[in-house]
Amino acid sequence: MPILNLKPEAAVRAILLAGLIFLLATGLPGHLSADSVTQLYEGRFGVRESFGPAVYAKILGLFDEVLPGTGLYVTASALILFWSLISLIALRGRASWWAVGFAALATASPTLLLFQADVWKDVLFANLSVAGFVCLAHAAKAWDGERRPWLQLTGAALALAIAMSVRQNGLVLVVFAALALGWTARGGGWRGGLAWGVGGLISVILLAQVLGVLAQPRGSGPDQALSTGLRILRHYDIVGAVAHDPSLKLEAIAKANPKAVAVIQAEAPKVYSPERVDYLDRSPALGTALWLTPEKAIADQWFELILKHPAAYLVHRWDAFVQVLINPVLERCNPIFVGVEAPAERLELLQVPAGREPADLAMSNYATWWYVTPFYSHLAFAAAALIVAAFLVFRREAADMVVAALMLGVLAFTASFFVISIACDYRYLYALDLAAVAGLLYLALDPPVLRLARRP
């Protein structure tokens, strides 16, 4: 019978395509939180009202011009990911039945089935990061051909530049992509490898800067997103350090705004939580004290905290990092979001209906079944990424080293949250989960252990 002649490569493709169709059928036009709606509003009307990435708002606006809403955007974003996963088969030229089983499991998981319909920059960042490295892996495989693989290199640069534009610490992954490119080009000598690596890094950074400038609405002035986000982070670190060490002296703030010190010391232990910075808003007095303190004084106090009181700073940072990496109380870290939830007046302007459909509630209930599995554990995905990297470095074929660089890069990206984490939302480390899924699928297509077993 024909089904008995089905090859594993065809089965993997069929499963991934079926997963794509199912997630679009159940998820369109996408799930929108308040942040999603704000960025769609900015993209549609060409304004800046938040400190979200301007490039992401611009992308939503461009798709919205073609087809109002987010349905077309969600479709394009998901297509980028599933093309990347399917094209892994071409990198290996074969597939094992292990890959068929893993593809079925991954496609059924919330990692692919639910999150891909969420209109969040974190999802697009993850998709583009995987796509960028997959393009680079194809370039590495074709590197010794008659012509340089410029199309694959261009695709990698564009994907990584957009990814970096929607999440600033995405620069970490760009650095690892540059290292992979340098390794790929090492055949021309170490100078050639260095030139390709540094050239690739600079090219992506410059392209990201150009995209950032082009995405700014006319008349909006310089982008304040980075400076505003950095100030919020500094507020959080100062309050967190004081909450851990009430005896901490805030000398820099005292010089600029003496009244603020007493307020911070009194309110910090009451409202601080390593789960999220939002809890600071529970104290209007604390917010007033922080925001009325000059920015230079806040910056000076932050540097003083790190240099002179590292223990309090590191304890606070560790507590915040544990929350985002491990999610000790998963339900409080927004592991599931479905439907549309945002201020009514904003939704009315966008003509986007609010609420949750029965299909949304069914998907939400389905996702909770996965809570006890590794598919809702960043720590499990981190371990998987490390294992994949180890196997691939051992095999050390051209494309292997690029995929290994993705695994190590996403681990470094995760580690960067030790410094910048301000909330435990599950989506912040979605790139880790998705990259690990891609790495596991790539490894399962042609496991090194099976290849060793086939040797005479």
Tokens of 181: 């490119």
Q: Could you give the C-alpha distances from 135 to 155, 171, 427, in angstroms and in order? A: 6, 17, 24
224 or 419, higher pLDDT: 419
**Predicted pLDDT of residue 50:** 85
pLDDT range class, residue 226, cuts 50, 70, 90: confident
- Residue 220 — very low, low, confident or very high, per pLDDT cuts 50/70/90? low
Q: What pLDDT, on a 0 to 100 scale, did the predictor assign at position 426?
A: 97
The arithmetic mean of pLDDT across residues 70-95, rounded, is: 96
Query: How far is residue 176 from each of residues 128, 155, 172, 213, 431, measured CA to CA in Å?
Result: 15, 16, 7, 25, 15
Strand partners, 32: 340
Total-model pTM: 0.94
Q: Looking at residue 4, what is its pLDDT? A: 55
pLDDT for res 456: 42
pLDDT tens-digit readout, 321-378: 999 999 999 999 999 999 999 999 999 999 999 999 999 999 999 999 999 999 999 9
Instruction: Please state the rounded mean pLDDT for residues 291-316.
Output: 96
More confident: 144 or 407: 407
Q: How far is Cα 268 from Cα 246, in angstroms, rounded to an integer?
A: 8
Would the pLDDT of 57 be above 60?
yes
Average pLDDT, the chain: 94
Provide the pLDDT confidence category of residue 52 given band limits of 50, 70 and 90: confident
For the chain, give every domain's residue range: 2-162+344-454, 225-326
**Segment 30-36 mean pLDDT:** 95
Q: What is the pLDDT of residue 35?
A: 94
- pLDDT band of 450, cuts 50, 70, 90: low
Average pLDDT over residues 120-145: 96
Please say if the pLDDT value at position 455 is more than 60.
no
